[in-house]
Structure 1
């Protein structure tokens, strides 16, 4: 069976340049989905995907790694973590990556995009700092409506830079802020990112 490589960006970096990449952890993506669905049963795809973006951005800046390590695409309504979205949609290749059947996922989707959990999130798969970042994103952005979430995510340089460059793939280097946004940190993450176990 064919498999999709979520660790390959849709748009390759310029020849001679490197990009920060992480190994996507699909099992953590599932737990993030369940975590948000437990916070608000019936939460929609857009909310989960935008809140994950904000949490990943903050966690990367605080701890030097994202939560899931997903590949982000700049789409019309904001950043989308590709594997997480594919899991929400029950994409067969994403399920193959998880080695699970659709019926065995710990959440269900009703009305095409409303997510309900079947259990609590497995906190053995999420670190304390992961949960702190998810909680902070929830507190800061969880109350926003569709337009508010979209507008807030569109303001971030990672989204704007992809849009200006005419590419879908967002670069993790553009997620970095303050002291983290310096060439030494970026070079270190380019080297170590693919080897980190998320």
Structure 2
């Protein structure tokens, strides 16, 4: 399990399809991705996306997905461009190929989680949602980082959502990463 930008694009594309809008504010998109991951951790004990998360001044985000949405990585994976387009004014939009049938890296449980998060938070304005995530009673793992960013450890999120033994759960995820890496190495030879 390692960061998969195509899967991240599929999460954002599903959110956009649920919004029925042509575009979504990038801040709202990455905030919703974080909330999807957090909810999936609550329900299943692991995140949808395997990436670093950080506290930023406007709230918690998934960092690699944030970088992709903002065009801060290059070259952009073909699968990302197939589903999403960067638009003016910090907006991310759908392409014509972003049908639900093209969201094949998402499990049924992941899609249901994304739908539930959209149902709970999709109607909230970008900056109201950002403010909501900065409230300790809502997202206790977020800490104001000043002008920078501050890492949010997976174990910290797990503890905040009530996972019984966060260290053991993180160790199991790390074991899966090592197994995945071995399979990738075998496939590569």
CA contact (8 A) 1:87 1:94 kept: no
Offset at residue 190 of structure 1 (A): 2.4
Is 1:127 aligned to 2:107, yes or no?
Answer: yes
Residue 51 of structure 2 corresponds to which residue in structure 1? Answer: 70
Is 1:171 aligned to 2:153, yes or no?
Answer: yes
Matched positions, count: 167
Offset at residue 178 of structure 1 (A): 5.5
Residue 24 of structure 2 corresponds to which residue in structure 1? Answer: 43
Offset at residue 91 of structure 1 (A): 2.8
Offset at residue 77 of structure 1 (A): 0.3
Cα deviation, 1:1-55, whole Å, max 9, x if unaligned, reads xxxxxxxxxxxxxxxxxxxxx6222221010121122223211111111111111
Q: Which moved more, 1:150-159 or 1:170-179?
A: 170-179
Residue 19 of structure 1 corresponds to which residue in structure 2? Answer: none
Give the distance between the partners of 1:111 and 1:178, measured in 2 at CA.
36
SS in 1 for 2:151: coil
Offset at residue 179 of structure 1 (A): 4.3
Q: CA distance change for structure 1 residues 124 and 173 in 2, over 3 Å: closer, same or farther?
A: same
Give the distance between the partners of 2:145 and 2:72, measured in 1 at CA.
26
Give the distance between the partners of 2:162 and 2:125, measured in 1 at CA.
31
Give the distance between the partners of 1:120 and 1:134, measured in 2 at CA.
15
Residue 33 of structure 1 corresponds to which residue in structure 2? Answer: 12
Is 1:189 aligned to 2:166, yes or no?
Answer: no
Cα deviation, 1:83-142, whole Å, max 9, x if unaligned, reads 1112112233462xx4x398x442212214222211224232101111111111101111
The TM-score with structure 2 as length reference comes to 0.77
Offset at residue 163 of structure 1 (A): 4.7
Give the distance between the partners of 2:89 and 2:67, measured in 1 at CA.
13
Offset at residue 61 of structure 1 (A): 1.4
Q: Which runs of 5+ in 2 are unaligned?
A: 181-189
SS in 2 for 1:69: coil
Q: Which runs of 5+ in 1 are unaligned?
A: 1-21
